Amino acid sequence: MDGHELVERLRRVVGDRWLLLDEHELRTYESDGLLQYQQVPRLAVLPGTGEQVRACVAACAEAGVPWVARGAGSGLSGGALPVKDGVLIVLSRLNRILEVDLDNGRVCVEPGVTNAAVSTAVAPDFFYPPDPSSQIVCTIGGNVAENSGGAHCFKYGFTTNYVTGLEVVLADGTLVTIGGKELDPPGYDLLGAFVGSEGTLGVATKIWLRVVPVPEATRTLVAFFDSTRQAGEAVSAIVQAGIVPGAIEMMDATTIRAAEAMAHAGYPVGRGAALLVELDGAEAECDAQFTQVTSICAEQGSDDVRVSRDEAERALFWKTRKAAFPAMGRISPNYFVQDGVVPRTTLPDVLVRIDELAAEYGLTVANVFHAGDGNLHPLVCFDAAVEGQAARAEELAGRILDICLEAGGSITGEHGVGVDKRKHMAKMFGEGDLAAFQRLRCAFDPDGRANPGKVMPTPRLCGEVPGVYRQHPLEAAGLAERF
Amino acid sequence: MTTASAVRPASTEEAASALAELSSPVRPLGAGSRAEWGGPDAPGAVTVHTGGLDRIVAHNPGDFTAIVQAGVPFAELQRHLGREGQWLALDPPDRGGTIGGLVATADSGPARHRYGGVRDLVIGITVVLSDGTVARSGGTVIKNVAGYDLGKLFAGSYGTLGLVTQVALRLHPLPARTATLVAAIADPAALTAAVLAMSRHPLEAMALDVSWAGGTGRLLVRFGGVTAAARAADAAKLLHDVDTDVVVDDESIWAAQRSAQRGPAVVKVSALPTDLPAVIAAAGDATVVSRAALGVSYLCFPAGDDLAARVTAARAALAPRPTVVLDGARLVEGPWTAPDPGTLALMRSVKARFDPAGMFRPGTYVGGI
C-alpha cells in the first residue's frame, strides 16, 4: 500500500471530515503538554468508534506506517508527540460512557472520556480516585497509557489499581480483550503490563474501571513550618503513626510566595514550608486521626495550623496548592517542571542537595511535592531571554533526577518517560532490564509501529524470533494441542 | 551441560549462571505449599529451589518498603515486619509458603478487599530469564512509572516466564485494633443484598467476606483502627431484620476463612458481586468463601469418590465465568478456563519472547503455555 492508498483507505474508514491533511490543522497536534517538543504528523484521523480505530491501525499495519494515539494531549513527557511520517489517531470523539454498574462498582468507558467525567457519572455516592491535576481535560485513555496518579494516590493508588479490563487494538490491527469486568481472569496479567506502557503496546478502545464510595468525611488542614526539613519530619511522624492521609502535599518558601500571589488564601509569605494534609474516611476514625495529625504538626514545630471550617475553605487550601505551577509564572519568566521520586525518609536530605545544586547553577528551584509518596515536582526557574539559561536549567533539571536515583528513587513518578526522559532510562535501568522491556514490547508489537521512539532510550528492533510460537495447522484445526 | 536434577542458587547471580547452563525444562520451587497448583511439570524437569535465596535484604520502616528474596518464608517476613508494627498486607492461607511462591501464584486472602493483591503490592522485581539474563523492573519506591511493570506480569505467572529471585514490596501499618461484624443470613439473595448494601457505603473495611456452608451463610465485615468496634456496630445498622454480632477478638473468624480456601479440591471463580447467588447455587456441597465485594470466590469441595465429577459440574454451572482449579488441579483435564483465542495468542507471544527456549514449566499454564 503506498501513501496515497493509505490516505484513501483511512478516508473511507473515518470519513472526509475526520481526516486531517492540512498542515495548519495538523499544527494543533504538534505537541502535547510538554511544548519543548514539536512534530507535525503526516496526517491525523479522528475515528468515532472502536471499530474505526481498529480499521485505522490495520491500515497502518498494511502500509507499514507508524502511528501514535492521542487523548487530550495534556501529558507532560511528550508521550503523545506525533511521529514525522506517521499517523496520529486522535481519540477525543470516543467519549461515551458505555455502562455504569454501581452494584458491582464498575464503569465502562471509551478512551476519550475525561477523568473528571467518570466521577461525575457515578456521583454523588461513588467516585473515581486517581485525580491528576489535569483531570478536567485529561482522558481515561491517556491515564491508562501513563498510569496516572494524582494528589490522592498515596492512599487510593494509581490508575493501574482501578482498571479491571481493556479492549485493546494491537499494532497488527487485531482486537483483544485483556482483563475484564470481573477480576482475575486466567492467564498472564497483561493488564498490569499494558497500563502505563505509554501507548507503545497498543491502543485501548474500551476501558472497565472500578469506582468506590465517596468517603463519609473529609478533614483538611494546612500547617506552616520554618523549614521543609521540619515539615518533612512531620510527614514521617504522621505516616509512622499508622495514619494514611488521603493527600499530603508540601510547598516550599518560593512556592508559597508564588501561590499566595495568585490564590490570596492568606498564606504567610516568608514561612519555610506549608503542609496540606487531608484525611478522609469513616467519620469517627477520621476525627480521631485528625486530632493526632494536628498534634504531630505542633510537636514537629508548626505554630500555625489552620483547619478548614467548611467546603469553601477546603477549596481555598487546594486552590493554593493547585496554583503552584501556574503561579510560578509570576516570579519567573520560564520554568521546567521536573517529576522525580525519592524514598520519603530521604526527602529532607534530597531537598538540601537540590538547594545546593540550584545555588551552584545560580538558578531558583521551587519545590512542590506529593510528600506521602516522595514524589517531587521541582520547578526549575529560568529566563529564556538570557542566553544559555534554558540549557543550564535543563541540565539542572536532569541533575535533580540523578539525585533522586542516588537516593534510591525514580526518574518519574507520574509524568512518564515519553520522549523527554528516554535519556535518563539507562541511568535507572541496566542493559538486561531494558532488554526485558524490549521483550514485552516485541510480544505486543514486533514491528514497533505503536508510538515508536518513546520510553526506550535507543530505538531497538525485535529482530529474528526463532522461538515465537506459531500455531501448527493441526492445532488450528483443533486436532492437536501443544504441551 | 549440567545433568543435575535440582539446583539451589544462593544469589541472583548463581541463579543466572545455573539457568544459563541448563537446557532442560526447569521448575522453580519454594516450600512447595502450593506445589499441586497448575498443570503437571514435564518428567525430568530440573527443580530450581529458591530456599537459598533466604534474605530479607532491607526493611525500611520509615518508607514502608522492604526488599525480600524469593525464598524467604512468608510467615518469617510477617514476623520481622510486625516488630515495627508493619505488615505485607496479604493474608493468603499459609502452609509454610515463600514470598516467591506467593508472587508466582498471586495467592491472596481476606485483606485483598482493602489492600489489593500481590500485583498491587509488588513495587519492584528481579527475575532471571531462561538464557540467564537478569532483569529488574520497578524500583523501591511506591510511586514510579519508569519503564514497563514486569512485577505485575510475573505475579500469577506460575513460574512460566522466568525465575523471580527478589521483590520490593509496599508495606502497611498493622491496624491498632480490629473488630468484625458477623451477620447470619440463610438466603443467598438476602445475603447478596446485604453485601451490596455494605459495598455501596464508604465503610473502609479491611475485609468483606461471605462464608457459605451447610446451606446457610454469614456476612463478615472486618474493621481496623482505633474506632473499629464502633464502626462495626454502625455498619450493622445498614442491615435490617438480620441477626448481627460484633466480635472484637476476631482473628479466629478470619483464620477460618483463610483455611477454607484450601482443601481436597478448590475452585476459584472470577465473577461479579451480583453473581453471588449463582455461585452459591453452583457450589453444590462445596463450602464457599467469597471476597464478596470483589466477586472472587473459592469453592472448597469435600473429599469423596465423585470429587472430580462434582468439581466439573460446578465449573459447568458457573460457565462462562472463568474458573481455575487450585487444589485438586490434577482431577481435571485443564485447571484453567481458556481465555479468548486472541487473548491467548497474546499470552503465547509473551511467553515466547520471555522464554523462547520454552524452559520454564512448559505446558503447565493457561492454554497449555
Q: What is the DSSP string of A86-134?
A: SEEEE-TT---EEEEETTTTEEEE-TTSBHHHHHHHHTTTEE-----TT
| Residues of chain A with C-beta less than 8 angstroms from the C-beta of B155 | 189, 192
CATH 3.40.449 fits B178-331, yes or no: no
3-class DSSP assignment, residue B212 = strand
Nearest to B63 among A216, A343, A414 (CB): A343
Q: How far does the CA of residue B216 sit from the closest CA of chain A (Å)?
A: 23
Same domain assignment for residues A280 and A301: yes
pLDDT for position B254: 98
Tell me if B150 and A436 make a contact (CB, 8 A cut-off): yes
Domain boundary among A374, A391, A406: A406
User: Rounded mean pLDDT of B64-84?
Assistant: 98
A92-133: pLDDT as tens digits: 999 999 999 999 999 999 999 999 999 999 999 999 999 998
For B161, nearest residue in chain A (alpha carbons): A188
Strand-pair category, B216-224 with B207-213: antiparallel
Q: Are A57 and A173 in contact (CB under 8 A)?
A: yes
Q: How far does the CA of residue A14 sit from the closest CA of chain B (Å)?
A: 25
pLDDT for position A483: 36
pLDDT for position A480: 44
Q: H helices of A227-310, where?
A: 228-240, 253-263, 283-299
Backbone angles phi, psi at B35, to 5 degrees: -60, -30
DSSP state letters, A308-367: --SHHHHHHHHHHHHTHHHHGGGT-SEEEEP-EE--GGGHHHHHHHHHHHHHHHT--EEE
- List the beta bridge partners of residue A206: A167
Selected from 3.30.465.10, 3.30.720.210, 3.40.190.80, 3.40.120.10, the CATH number assigned to the domain covering B1-174+338-369 reads: 3.30.465.10
Same domain assignment for residues A80 and A226: no
| Residues of chain A with C-beta less than 8 angstroms from the C-beta of B349 | 443-444, 468-469
| pTM, 2 dp | 0.96
Same domain assignment for residues A126 and A249: no
Same domain assignment for residues A74 and A109: no
Tell me if A285 and B145 make a contact (CB, 8 A cut-off): no
- List the beta bridge partners of residue A59: none
B117-154: pLDDT as tens digits: 999 999 999 999 999 999 999 999 999 999 999 999 99
Whether A459 is covered by a domain: the verdict is no
Question: What residue type is assigned to position A4 of the chain?
Answer: H
Tell me if B145 and A413 make a contact (CB, 8 A cut-off): yes
Domain boundary among A90, A124, A142: A90
Which grid cell sits at A200?
507503545
The Cα B38–Cα A135 span in angstroms is: 42
Nearest to A414 among B145, B227, B369 (CB): B145
Q: Is B247 or A478 the better-scoring residue by pLDDT?
A: B247
Which grid cell sits at B262?
484450601
Tell me if B272 and A106 make a contact (CB, 8 A cut-off): yes
If we measure between CA atoms, which residue out of A22, A13, A111 comes closest to residue A62? A13
| Residues of chain A with C-beta less than 8 angstroms from the C-beta of B173 | 242, 244
Q: How far does the CA of residue B170 sit from the closest CA of chain A (Å)?
A: 11
Same domain assignment for residues A15 and A139: no
Q: Are A409 and A403 in contact (CB under 8 A)?
A: no
Whether A478 is covered by a domain: the verdict is no
For chain A, residues with pLDDT lower than 50 are 466-483
pLDDT for position B286: 97
Q: How far does the CA of residue B128 sit from the closest CA of chain A (Å)?
A: 10
pLDDT for position A467: 46
Report the C-alpha dihedral over residues B203, B205, B207, B212, rounded to 10 degrees: -40
For A411, nearest residue in chain B (alpha carbons): B146
Same domain assignment for residues A295 and A397: yes
Same domain assignment for residues A319 and A400: yes
Q: B340: which DSSP letter?
A: P
Tell me if A373 and B273 make a contact (CB, 8 A cut-off): no
Q: How far does the CA of residue B338 sit from the closest CA of chain A (Å)?
A: 7
Whether A285 is covered by a domain: the verdict is yes
Whether A139 is covered by a domain: the verdict is yes
The CATH number assigned to the domain holding A171 equals 3.30.465.10
What are the Cα distances from residue B300, in Å, to B191, B217, B273, B280?
19, 15, 19, 12
Q: Is B366's pLDDT higher than 90?
A: yes
B266: CB partners within 8 A, 6+ apart: B298, B299, B300, B301, B325, B326, B327, B328
User: In which band, very low, low, confident or very high, does the pLDDT at B3 lie, cut at 50, 70 and 90?
Assistant: low
Which grid cell sits at A420?
523527554
Tell me if A432 and B116 make a contact (CB, 8 A cut-off): no
Residue ranges covered by each domain of chain B: 1-174+338-369, 178-331
Nearest to B296 among A184, A190, A436 (CB): A184
Q: How far does the CA of residue B240 sit from the closest CA of chain A (Å)?
A: 19
Tell me if A191 and B152 make a contact (CB, 8 A cut-off): yes
Q: A14: which DSSP letter?
A: H
Backbone angles phi, psi at B365, to 5 degrees: -105, -175
Same domain assignment for residues A80 and A106: no
User: Residue B254 CB: number of other CB atoms within 10 A?
Assistant: 20
B253-262: pLDDT as tens digits: 999 999 999 9
pLDDT for position A464: 56
ipTM of the modeled complex = 0.97
Q: How far does the CA of residue B305 sit from the closest CA of chain A (Å)?
A: 28
| Residues of chain A with C-beta less than 8 angstroms from the C-beta of B109 | none
What are the Cα distances from residue A5, in Å, to A47, A49, A63, A89, B165?
18, 22, 9, 17, 51
User: In which band, very low, low, confident or very high, does the pLDDT at B243 lie, cut at 50, 70 and 90?
Assistant: very high
Whether A138 is covered by a domain: the verdict is yes
Tell me if A342 and B336 make a contact (CB, 8 A cut-off): no
Which grid cell sits at B274?
451480583
The Cα A116–Cα A283 span in angstroms is: 25
Give the lowest-confidence range in A280-289, B12-21, B85-94, B189-198. Answer: A280-289
Same domain assignment for residues A120 and A204: yes
Which grid cell sits at B358?
520454552
User: In which band, very low, low, confident or very high, does the pLDDT at B340 lie, cut at 50, 70 and 90?
Assistant: very high
Whether A383 is covered by a domain: the verdict is yes
Q: How far does the CA of residue A180 sit from the closest CA of chain B (Å)?
A: 10
Which grid cell sits at A442?
516485541
Tell me if A161 and B143 make a contact (CB, 8 A cut-off): no
| Residues of chain B with C-beta less than 8 angstroms from the C-beta of A105 | 199, 273, 293
Tell me if A187 and B339 make a contact (CB, 8 A cut-off): yes
User: In which band, very low, low, confident or very high, does the pLDDT at B2 lie, cut at 50, 70 and 90?
Assistant: very low
The CATH number assigned to the domain holding A283 equals 3.40.462.10
∠A361-A363-A366 over CA atoms, to 5°?
125
Same domain assignment for residues A330 and A360: yes
Count of structural domains within chain A: 3
Same domain assignment for residues A108 and A195: yes
The Cα A136–Cα A74 span in angstroms is: 10
The Cα B261–Cα B112 span in angstroms is: 14
Per the structure, the complete domain to which residue A47 belongs is given by 3-90
Nearest to B85 among A242, A412, A428 (CB): A242
| Residues of chain A with C-beta less than 8 angstroms from the C-beta of B193 | none
Tell me if A412 and B351 make a contact (CB, 8 A cut-off): no
Give the lowest-confidence range in B86-90, B192-196, B223-227, B251-255. Answer: B223-227
Residue found under cell 491517556: A142
- List the beta bridge partners of residue B166: B69, B126
Same domain assignment for residues A167 and A36: no
Nearest to A177 among B141, B156, B340 (CB): B340
The Cα A367–Cα A49 span in angstroms is: 42
Q: For an interface test with B, give the residue of A184, A405, A440, A461 to mutate (most B CBs within 10 A).
A: A184
Domain boundary among A187, A213, A239: A213
Nearest to A469 among B139, B146, B349 (CB): B349
The Cα B268–Cα B266 span in angstroms is: 6
Nearest to B141 among A174, A341, A437 (CB): A341
Q: Are A374 and A405 in contact (CB under 8 A)?
A: no
Whether A300 is covered by a domain: the verdict is yes
User: Rounded mean pLDDT of B339-353?
Assistant: 97
